Amino acid sequence: MAYNIPEKYQDLTPAPRLDNKTLNKMVWMSCFLQASFNYERMQACGWLWGILPGLKKIHTNKEDLKASMAHNLDFLNTHPFLVTFVMGIVLSMEQNKTDIQTIRSVRISAAAPLGGIGDALFWLSLVPILAGLTANLAMDGNILGAILFLIGFNAVQFLIRWWLMHWSYGMGTKAITMLTSNAKEFTRAASILGVFIVGALIANYGSTSLRIYVGDPAINIQGLLDGILPKLLPLLITIGLYMLIKKGWTPVKCILTILVVGIVGCAFGIWAGDSKAMDADGNTLLGGYTPLVEWYEYPAPAPAEKTGQQAYDALEQIVIDLQGAGVDVSLGE
């Protein structure tokens, strides 16, 4: 049997202000926003679960609580890390017993712009910044890199959840005006910062390079590219992927393309690499690995330069050999 949601609550007396303990409890429960995600109402079940402790304290009238729970099961899709912003506003309106239809409209209008803002703030800014700070540790095989990244990311997003809940609950509908009036500028600024950081990460950690040598004496193609512009190859790959995505390619398709190009390129000895692999005699393999198809000769590495002491010892041995052969020669001081 369908339940008809009323236009107004029966008890229109404003409820007492929610205590901080209840607000903090809802902050933690908001983490389950997408635990019951579905394609009919998206995050509605998780939303009601998270906001329910506050609704129970606001609506002592059972019929009003039933109506509130029913309309809070409406379709909802917002950024999971910023959902407490919407919760605070809705709880403020529920506390003042605002018309149900008005609450429903405000909930949708507050939730809608948070997707773009949240993506720019978290995925385009926070993640690249933290990844840049902790990547060196991870690349050196230190597990602290991954641990510090996870701790930093979750600490920031939990702090934002907590602050938004308390701030938006205190501001009420005024918070929506502040959000919408600066949403474009904030999103653009965060996006620019994120793109800048991603570019810096590509320059620092983009290690794609060519293994190819041509001519006699051998000419290192990668050395020529570095003379034109260091990290030119990672830049070209990034621009190429950007152009493919602009033409409608999906990220998954781009990832698969990179995987195929990487495997085929290594099979033909195109890409440089240092696998630390060694032959049966314990010598490091030239170029880092032995390709399946060897279509050019990879030059043997130049002998390591001797230290001053090694050079002196070698010269001293030559003098001794010459003296043994009857040559009158001596080594100067």
Q: What is the pLDDT of residues 239-258, one digit of tens each?
A: 999 899 999 999 899 999 99
Q: Indicate the average pLDDT of the chain.
A: 84
Say yes or no to pLDDT of 125 above 70: yes
Lowest-confidence segment of 80-89, 166-175, 298-307 by average pLDDT: 298-307
Please give the backbone phi and psi of residue 93, each rounded to the nearest 5 degrees, phi first.
-70, -40
> What is the pLDDT, as a whole number, of residue 187?
64
Helix (H/G/I), strand (E/B), else coil: 322: helix
> What is the pLDDT, as a whole number, of residue 280?
72
Decide: 44 and 73 in contact? Cβ < 8 Å. yes
pLDDT above 70: percentage of residues in the chain: 88
Q: What is the pLDDT of residues 97-114, one digit of tens each?
A: 989 998 898 888 888 778
Q: How far apart are CA 204 and CA 184, in angstroms?
A: 30
The whole-number average pLDDT for the span 11-15 is 91
Please report which helix (H) or strand (E) contains residue 293, including its range: none
Q: How far apart are CA 59 and CA 64, in angstroms?
A: 6
Exposed / middle / buried, residue 74 (Cβ in 10 Å: 0-12, 13-18, 19+): middle
The whole-number average pLDDT for the span 192-215 is 77
Say yes or no to pLDDT of 333 above 70: no
Q: How far apart are CA 107 and CA 75, in angstroms?
A: 10
Q: In the chain, at which residue ranges do the beta strands (DSSP E only) sit?
A: 213-214, 219-220
Helix (H/G/I), strand (E/B), else coil: 216: coil
Q: How far apart are CA 135 and CA 144, in angstroms?
A: 10
> What is the pLDDT, as a whole number, of residue 259?
94
Decide: 53 and 22 in contact? Cβ < 8 Å. yes
Local confidence band at 195 (pLDDT 50, 70, 90 cut-offs):
confident
Lowest-confidence segment of 34-43, 163-172, 213-222 by average pLDDT: 213-222
The whole-number average pLDDT for the span 268-283 is 76
Say yes or no to pLDDT of 44 above 60: yes
Q: Which amino acid is at 321?
A: D
Does the predicted model carry a pTM greater than 0.75? no
Decide: 72 and 55 in contact? Cβ < 8 Å. yes
Say yes or no to pLDDT of 66 above 60: yes
Q: How far apart are CA 169 and CA 114, in angstroms?
A: 17
Decide: 169 and 91 in contact? Cβ < 8 Å. yes
Say yes or no to pLDDT of 196 above 60: yes
Say yes or no to pLDDT of 172 above 90: no
pLDDT above 90: percentage of residues in the chain: 39
> What is the pLDDT, as a whole number, of residue 152?
94
Say yes or no to pLDDT of 174 above 80: no
> What is the pLDDT, as a whole number, of residue 110?
82
The whole-number average pLDDT for the span 52-72 is 94
The whole-number average pLDDT for the span 294-304 is 76
Q: How far apart are CA 236 and CA 146, in angstroms?
A: 29
All residues at 6 or more sequence positions from 138 whose CB lies less than 8 Å from its CB, including other chains: 145, 146, 149
The whole-number average pLDDT for the span 21-33 is 94
Say yes or no to pLDDT of 48 above 60: yes
Say yes or no to pLDDT of 1 above 60: no
Two tokens at 255? 């990832």
Specify the higher pLDDT residue, 30 or 193: 30
Summary count for the chain: helices (H), strands (E): 13, 2
Q: What is the pLDDT of residues 314-329, one digit of tens each?
A: 777 877 887 777 777 7
